[in-house]
Structure 1
Amino acid sequence: MAQAWFATGPDGLDDWELREVDVPAPAAGEVTIRVHAIGMNPADYKYPTRPDASFPFPLGYEVSGEITALGPDAEIGSGHANIGDEVLAFRLRGGYATEVTIPAEKAFAKPATVTQPEAANLFLAGATAAELLELSGAGRGDTVLFHAASGAVGVSFLQQAAVRGVRVVGTASERNADVVRRYGGIPIAYGPGLIDRAKDAAGGAAFVASLDGVGTDEAIDVSLALIEDRKRIITIVRRDLESEGIVAIGGMLPASAAFRDAVRGELVDLARRGLLEVPVARTYPFADAVEAARFLKEGHPGGKLALLT
């Protein structure tokens, strides 16, 4: 028997429950993973509260661990694998578990230089950032604006943009300005006067895109003031703005899902080469998932969180 966390109702963390579950043996094209670390994301507590959620709702979307069983003809996303190999996996349902059986193509070989908590947090934020960068259309020498650049998606975006030679002006609180600098961005504080600060930071260069990771009216208003082509204003928060021509992306949307699946191998390679790191702020025991999720929801983690089994 394994253990797994479920949301049993739509009322948030009070409805989370730890249960014992049977883990099926892997069928053809499947793999069983003994989970060592679980990546934590806002989607973990947001999706069970959606109107279309059904219960019990299995929690968690990305993990790292080691292969304990392979089904017939199973080949992971990065190629051949053996029992005992360390892997990370993404876009699964029910990752808050001590063991999972999943489609083998969702798993990728874990680089030896990446820790289990880092690996468990690589894909969701990294794939979101990669999609933002792709849709921005920015290339070498271009300048973009990123709202909430010190967050998990922002930090991944900064690193991926640096690989492409894209310059990023990023909003952040004063206490997080050094995070933006550390990963190659130009930090500016949000608040009154943001448009002028953004222009000054760009040094006369035009912004080719604005990426929104926070969803505030200020972020949207500034983006509209600086970017003429609304298809170059892309948000991961405000689906309500699509009618105004602003592009909204999210893992539940088919186009986003397809892109994020396709980019997984590239993200692993960047991590293997030391070009993409995942700052982990805290780890929690698996049994403390509710406490960890509450901190993620209400606090300022300053990096990713992981559950350890």
Structure 2
Amino acid sequence: MKAISYKAYGGPEVLEYGEVPDPKVGPDSVLVKVRAAAVNPVDYKCRQGHLDGILDAVFPVIPGWDVAGVVVQPGVAVPEFTVGDEVIGYVREDFLARGTFAEYVAAPVRTLARKPRNLGFEEAAALPLAGLTAYQVVRGALGVGEGDVVLVHAAAGGVGSFAVQLARHAGARVIGTAGEHNHAYLRELGAEPVRYGDGLADRVRALAPDGVDAAFDTIGGDTLRLSAALLAPGGRLASVADGSVLGLGGRYCFVRPDADDLRHLSELAEQGVVTVHVDATFPLEQAAEAHRRSEEGRTRGKIVVTVDWDG
């Protein structure tokens, strides 16, 4: 099959497009014909070696954890899916090797759910990792509920935009940080936008003088520390970017595959509670350019790689 792979850590230039062996389907997996795979910041961080020691790399590595596609072969122990089912998945294993930037991926059934019927493959591929991250932080780590005031950083990005929508659905008031060019977009999602940069704390306090009940950090460093200072008494803090949140009394969250969570997220998408914004698409053979675009860090929503089965 055709796939993107890399034989050593490095920049986007290490990504190669070409033939790789077809994946083998284990008893608890299904073979998915990939229609689209989303790009996430963790993809280039893995490619650069920043997760070495957390996830071992078995070279050559096929990158990518998000997928939307069609089941072509269920494993012998999989009654949940059958040939022709349209699925989405956050296909992360405990090592780097068998990713989704390929024509086919063997996906463990614990990573999959049915694709939202109202979404195309490109939109659906953008949902799993970022959506699950937001879901597991907003619903789990932060326990956002009715009447909470929630601060979401990088609120126009993939994770942030889902977090805004999920917090609003839970009945919270949401303050979202973003560049001014994304403020109209945040208002459409239901957030009150505030500009990045000097004076951010004062701008947030002007909107929430008593502090925020929960803060969702996606940036780390100074932004994390500022978030802790903006909490109301008893406020909750979570970060997906900086483990030092633990020293501030908060929760560090690394998203995990969860079929039940993903199924619920798919249902929310079908209900129109969660919408997906795809900022740009690239064909599979241009995945290196998609990585470069992701590394710029100015994406609204998600970047998606597509596999052409019609050509």
Q: State the partner residue of 1:88.
A: 88
2:26 and 2:228 map into 1 onto residues whose CA distance is 50
Instruction: Deviation per CA, 1:110-138: give whole Å up to 9, x if none.
Output: 12211101111101111111122121232
TM-score, normalised relative to structure 1: 0.88
**For residue 225 of structure 1, what is the aligned residue in structure 2?**
229
When residues 111 and 187 of structure 1 are mapped into structure 2, their CA distance, relative to the original with a 3 A threshold, is same
Which residue in 1 is equivalent to 2:95?
Answer: none
Considering Cα pairs closer than 8 Å and 6+ residues apart, tell me whether 1 or 2 has the greater RCO. Answer: 2
Residue 21, structure 1, aligned to residue 20, structure 2: yes
Q: Quick one: which of 233, 239, 245 aligns to 2:243? A: 239
Aligned to 1:254: none
| Change beyond 3 A, Cα 1:232–1:261 | farther
8 Å Cα contact 1:126-1:267 kept in structure 2: yes
More displaced stretch, 225-234 vs 38-47: 225-234
Give the counterpart of 1:73 among 77, 83, 97.
77
TM-score by length of 2: 0.88
Matches within 5 A, 1:8-157: 8-24=7-23, 26-48=25-47, 49-50=49-50, 51-52=52-53, 53-54=56-57, 55-76=59-80, 81-92=81-92, 93-133=98-138, 134-157=140-163
Unaligned stretches of 5+ in structure 2? 93-97
The answer to whether the Cα contact below 8 Å between 1:145 and 1:169 also exists between their aligned partners in 2 is yes
Q: Which moved more, 1:20-29 or 1:168-177?
A: 20-29
Q: Deviations over 1:7-39 (max 9, x none)?
A: 211222122222422324534332111111011
| Residue ranges of structure 1 left out of the alignment (5+ in a row) | 252-256
Cα distance, 1:244 vs structure 2: 4.0
Name the residue aligned to 2:269.
Answer: 271
What SS class does the counterpart of residue 167 from structure 2 fall into?
Answer: helix
2:292 matched residue in structure 1: 294
Give the match for residue 166 of structure 1. 172
Letter in 1 for 2:267: D
**Matching of residue 196 in structure 1 with residue 202 in structure 2:** yes
Aligned length, in residue pairs? 296
Opposite residue 129 of structure 2, the aligned amino acid is: L
Structure with bigger helix share is 1
Who is 1:306 aligned against? Answer: 304
1:56 is paired with a residue whose SS is strand
- CA separation in 2, counterparts of 1:129 and 1:145? 13
**Cα shift at 1:268:** 0.7
Which of 202, 209, 213 pairs up with 2:218? 213
Aligned equivalents of 1:108, 1:8: Cα separation in 2: 31
The question of whether the paired residues in 1 share the 8 Å contact of 2:210 and 2:232 is answered with no
Please tell me whether the aligned partners of residues 63 and 101 of structure 2 are also in contact (alpha carbons under 8 angstroms): yes
Deviation, 1:199, is 2.0
Letter aligned with residue 61 of structure 1: W
- Cα shift readout 1:96-115 (whole Å, capped 9, x = no counterpart): 11011222332221122111
Q: CA deviation at 1:275?
A: 1.0
Q: Report the CA distance between 1:195 and its aligned residue.
A: 2.1
Alpha-carbon deviation of 1:241? 4.1
One-letter identity of the residue aligned with 2:240: I
How far does the alpha carbon of each residue in 1:40-97 deviate from its partner, in whole angstroms, 9 at most, with x for none?
1011110131233433222110111111112223134xxxx33112111113341111
Supply the AA of the counterpart residue of 2:34: V
Change (3 A) 1:230 1:223: farther
Q: What letter matches 2:195 in structure 1?
A: A
SS at match of 2:84: coil
Separation (CA, whole Å) in 2 of partners of 1:66 and 1:114: 14
- More displaced stretch, 284-293 vs 135-144: 135-144
Q: Aligned equivalents of 1:156 and 1:35: distance in 2?
A: 23
- Partner residue, 1:185: 191
Q: CA RMSD in A?
A: 2.0
CA contact (8 A) 2:240 2:253 kept: yes
Q: 1:243 deviation in Å?
A: 3.5
